Amino acid sequence: MELRGMELMGRRNGQRGKPPPGIREASVATPAGTQAPDRAAARPPVPDRAAARPQSPDRAPTGTQAVDRAARLVTEVVHAPDSVTFTELAAATGLAKSTTSRLLDALERGGLVRRDDDGRFRPGDVFVRYAWRGGAEAGLIEVARPFLDRLGAQTGETVNLGVARDHLVEQIAQVDSKYLIGGTNWVGRPVPLHCAALGKVLLAYGAAALPPGRLEARTSRTLTSRAALEENLRQVRRCGYAITDEELEPGLVAVAAPVFRDGAVVVGALSVSAPASRLTPARIPAVAAQCAAQALALSEALGHRPLPEPENEHDPAPGPRAART
């Protein structure tokens, strides 16, 4: 009776109790005993146009798909016995040409592939620097070839890449001169360090050491005094390149510049040689500048980054610099 009286009193005062949990109150405009329809549920679904649109095989890859495609391109370039063309890569991977172009551009920016002067693709600087961590020399010729070719095209003269071997300099790669005179093949022919431009560079930057005993006089102009040679090597370090003027062979003039790997370690030298009638004193500065520029570009491909110019100009620290003209 007491509970019944309280219920009636609540109705008279216009109060209603809260609905039990889980029951949604009807809208004021909804007739008693009915529930407003769920308009969101009743609305017909809008078709997903992006999902319904057919996927074009040429659309930009995303996520792991892009990584997989890029990895296939890198693998083809690295495993190829020689440089490969864009068309060969697209055919080998089965990718659309626009996709191949887009991915190769990204790989080139990241240093994973590089293009040579003919537009063909080779392994990029990242792979070159990794291979050179162990000091491997076997790949030096392959890496250097585009730079030798470019220097040969610029000068028209004989271009050589040399390394130190048993107190001598050995030329391991060559681009022949376009002239009949001066077309000697120097590859595999070791020559003394002190009278070759390549050898002077290796001596100046600590990549080679003179043998004990007297220095051989190959011509009347060969430097046979160790004191005179040391002064000449200081000049090599100041200029960033070496010159030999008929010191190895009468009538032969050469210039050479250092090739660095990562850090400040010289691993070889790049040279241009020609008869004295063509490589005249007036022409030497320009040819030396071209040689130094290509040697520096090759050094950067091997992971070297030039150091800032030293403040002490009397005997600056070794490092490839543009030749002074």
The crossing angle, in degrees rounded to 10, of helices 86-93 and 63-79 is 120
pLDDT grade, residue 291 (50/70/90)? very high
Q: Which residues contact 110 (CB under 8 A, 6 or more apart)?
A: 124, 126
Q: Mean per-residue pLDDT for 153-172?
A: 93
Which of 33-37, 60-64, 247-251, 285-289 shows the lowest mean pLDDT across its residues?
33-37
Q: For residue 60, what are its two tokens?
A: 């930009």
pLDDT grade, residue 176 (50/70/90)? very high
Residue of 56 and 194 predicted with greater confidence:
194
pLDDT of residue 78: 80
The answer to whether the Cα torsion of 26, 31, 35, 40 is positive or negative is: negative
Under a CB-based contact definition with an 8 Å cutoff, are residues 163 and 191 in contact?
no
Q: Mean per-residue pLDDT for 159-185?
A: 88
Q: Mean per-residue pLDDT for 244-273?
A: 92
Say how many residues make up the chain: 325
pLDDT of residue 187: 86
Distance CA 248, CA 221 (A): 8
Residue of 307 and 92 predicted with greater confidence:
92
Q: Mean per-residue pLDDT for 175-202?
A: 89
- Reference 183, options 165, 158, 218; nearest CA is 158
Instruction: Kindly report the pTM of this predicted structure.
Output: 0.60
Distance CA 294, CA 146 (A): 10
Distance CA 253, CA 59 (A): 57
Query: Where does residue 92 rank: exposed (0-12), middle (13-18), buried (19+ CB within 10 A)?
Result: middle
Rg (CA), the chain: 37
**Mean per-residue pLDDT of the chain:** 78
Q: Mean per-residue pLDDT for 13-23?
A: 46
Can you tell me which residue has the tokens 């109790």?
17
Q: Name the DSSP class of 19.
A: P
Can you tell me which residue has the tokens 């010289």?
266
Q: Mean per-residue pLDDT for 241-254?
A: 95
**Percent of the chain residues past pLDDT 70, beyond the cut:** 71
Under a CB-based contact definition with an 8 Å cutoff, are residues 17 and 9 in contact?
no
pLDDT at residue 135 is higher than 70: no
pLDDT grade, residue 25 (50/70/90)? very low
Q: For residue 4, what are its two tokens?
A: 């019944």
Distance CA 38, CA 108 (A): 56
pLDDT at residue 52 is higher than 90: no
pLDDT of residue 16: 47
Distance CA 179, CA 143 (A): 26
Distance CA 146, CA 142 (A): 8
Give 63-117 pLDDT, tens digit per residue: 788 888 888 898 888 888 778 899 999 999 999 999 999 999 999 888 888 888 7
pLDDT grade, residue 308 (50/70/90)? low
Q: What is the DSSP string of 259-308?
A: EE-SSS-EEEEEEEEEETTTS-TTTHHHHHHHHHHHHHHHHHHTT--PPP
Dihedral-angle region of residue 258 (phi above 0 means left; psi in -120 to 50 means alpha; beta otherwise): beta
pLDDT of residue 81: 76
Q: For residue 71, what are its two tokens?
A: 């990895």
